[in-house]
Amino acid sequence: MSDYQGPMRVLSGIQTSGEMHLGNYLGAIRKFVALQHQHECLYFLADMHAVTVWQDPEQLRRQTLHIAASFMAAGIDPETATVFPQSQVRAHAELAWIFNCVARLGWLDRMTQFKDKAGKNAERASVGLYTYPVLQAADILVYKATHVPVGEDQKQHLELSRDIAGKFNHDYEKPDFFPLPEPLIKGEFGEAGARIMSLRDGSKKMSKSDPSENACIFLRDDADAIAKKIKKAKSDADALPSEPDGLEDRPEAKNLVGIYTALSGKSSAEVLVEFGGQGFGVFKPALAELVVEKIAPIGEELRRLEADPGYLQGALRTGAEKAASIADPVVREVKDIVGFLT
């Protein structure tokens, strides 16, 4: 429960565990860019979440800067939105501990991402991987964030954050302390983009951990690489249908049309009016042209920013100070509510 009356605040994060791809862009980063001009926004690099599975230290540092550069290349202005590495604001970890004592084991047992990531060998997974969604709740609530732009795969984690906020408010009889954060899954462009699938298998989400290079379009890819990956993308032998219903049971076709929809801003009905009856020999080159037009310039800017790690680190340090100035007083209040000496 929550009677929270505070201001609207947007927050989201991306794990620093690999290269940014089209799914991250359409499911998250593009929404971050749009929201920064409308609301107070905080966007962080989830390096503490990344180490729930093994990360080479040097590579982790590079990946963290890569994501910062991806944010900025896509249009996030660090002077407008607050951009920072999670590990530089200690309030996240402090609140996560208290939330570990609020969340119930049964709630975590239901988390499907842990089951997917831990696989059959759950006994050997880190404890951090198990309590990962509790840290995620702390990331959000340490800023009393009210809205969280994410892809569809994060829906369950957001529900857990709401459960933790509600239980904290209830147990400590502070019904207006934490908001119940709302996921923002549909973008300004509608449903398209909430879940982008692998280019090699339309039933699997596009993921940084996919072993196949061709499964993902990375923000770093240049025009040639993008065109090649779309040409090789799995499709089927039929022509495109003239209406969206005809895409059911055709996961690869549905995904490629979904990418076109998300990047063009058109509805899938409009896209199919244009391409219905055409085969992939016609649709794929049109899609490649659109992806190159929208993504290749981001890749260029990304490479330029990555060449200046000093600038990126300076901007992140400033962001972390701003973030801490919001989060620290919240943690102080939480400690008082819980009964720690202040």
Q: How far is the CB of 195 from ligand TYM (least distance, A)?
A: 5
Query: Looking at 11-19, 97-105, 282-290, 300-308, which segment touches ligand TYM (CB under 6 A)?
Result: 11-19
**Interaction residues for ligand TYM, span 17-36 (CB under 6 A):** 23-24, 26-28
* Complete DSSP assignment for 44-88: EEEHHHHTTS---HHHHHHHHHHHHHHHHHHT--TTTSEEEEGGG
Of 174, 205, 284, 322, which is the active-site residue?
Answer: 205
From candidates 154, 169, 261, 264, binder to ligand TYM by CB under 6 A: 154
Q: How far is the CB of 273 from ligand TYM (least distance, A)?
A: 25
Query: Looking at 116-124, 132-140, 236-244, 284-292, which segment touches ligand TYM (CB under 6 A)?
Result: 132-140
Q: How far is the CB of 305 from ligand TYM (least distance, A)?
A: 19
From candidates 45, 68, 141, 206, binder to ligand TYM by CB under 6 A: 206
Of 174, 186, 208, 266, which is the active-site residue?
Answer: 208
Q: 13 vs 85, which CB is nearer to ligand TYM?
A: 13
Nearest 5°: phi and psi at 197?
-100, 165
- Whole-angstrom distance, CA of residue 93 vs CA of residue 86: 9
Go through 57-84 and write b for each residue having 16 or more CB atoms within 10 A of its CB, e for each that does not.
eeebbebbbbbbbbbbbbbbebeebbbb
Q: 27 vs 202, which CB is nearer to ligand TYM?
A: 27
What CA–CA distances, in Å, run from 233 to 154, 196, 219, 291? 26, 13, 17, 13
From candidates 10, 111, 148, 327, binder to ligand TYM by CB under 6 A: 148
Of 117, 167, 186, 254, which is the active-site residue?
Answer: 117
In eight-state DSSP terms, residue 197 is: B
- Whole-angstrom distance, CA of residue 52 vs CA of residue 72: 26
From candidates 51, 91, 140, 215, binder to ligand TYM by CB under 6 A: 140
Indicate the Cα dihedral angle 291, 296, 297, 299, nearest 10°: 130
Q: Which of 290, 291, 248, 268 is nearest to 23 (CA)?
A: 291
Q: 206 vs 257, which CB is nearer to ligand TYM?
A: 206
Residue pair 259/196 in contact by the 8 Å Cβ criterion: yes
Q: 258 vs 299, which CB is nearer to ligand TYM?
A: 258
Q: How far is the CB of 206 from ligand TYM (least distance, A)?
A: 4
Q: 27 vs 299, which CB is nearer to ligand TYM?
A: 27
Interaction between residue 70 and ligand TYM (CB under 6 A):
no
Interaction between residue 179 and ligand TYM (CB under 6 A):
no
Q: Which of 27, 28, 41, 45 is nearest to 77 (CA)?
A: 41
Which ranges of 199-279 does DSSP label H, i.e. alpha helix?
223-232, 251-264, 268-275
Interaction between residue 287 and ligand TYM (CB under 6 A):
no
Interaction between residue 256 and ligand TYM (CB under 6 A):
no
Across-strand partners of 82?
42
Q: 205 an active-site residue?
A: yes
**Interaction residues for ligand TYM, span 211-230 (CB under 6 A):** none
Q: 231 an active-site residue?
A: no
Phi-psi region of 339 (alpha: psi -120 to 50; beta: other; left: phi over 0): left
Residue with tokens 């857990």: 160
Interaction between residue 183 and ligand TYM (CB under 6 A):
no
From candidates 49, 144, 220, 229, binder to ligand TYM by CB under 6 A: 49
Interaction between residue 64 and ligand TYM (CB under 6 A):
no
Residue pair 114/126 in contact by the 8 Å Cβ criterion: no
| The Cα angle at residue 24 between residues 21 and 27, in degrees rounded to 5 | 140
Across-strand partners of 41?
10
Residues with a catalytic annotation lie at 117, 205, 208
Binding site for ligand TYM (CB under 6 A): 12-15, 23-24, 26-28, 46, 49, 136, 139-140, 148, 150-151, 153-154, 157, 195-196, 205-206
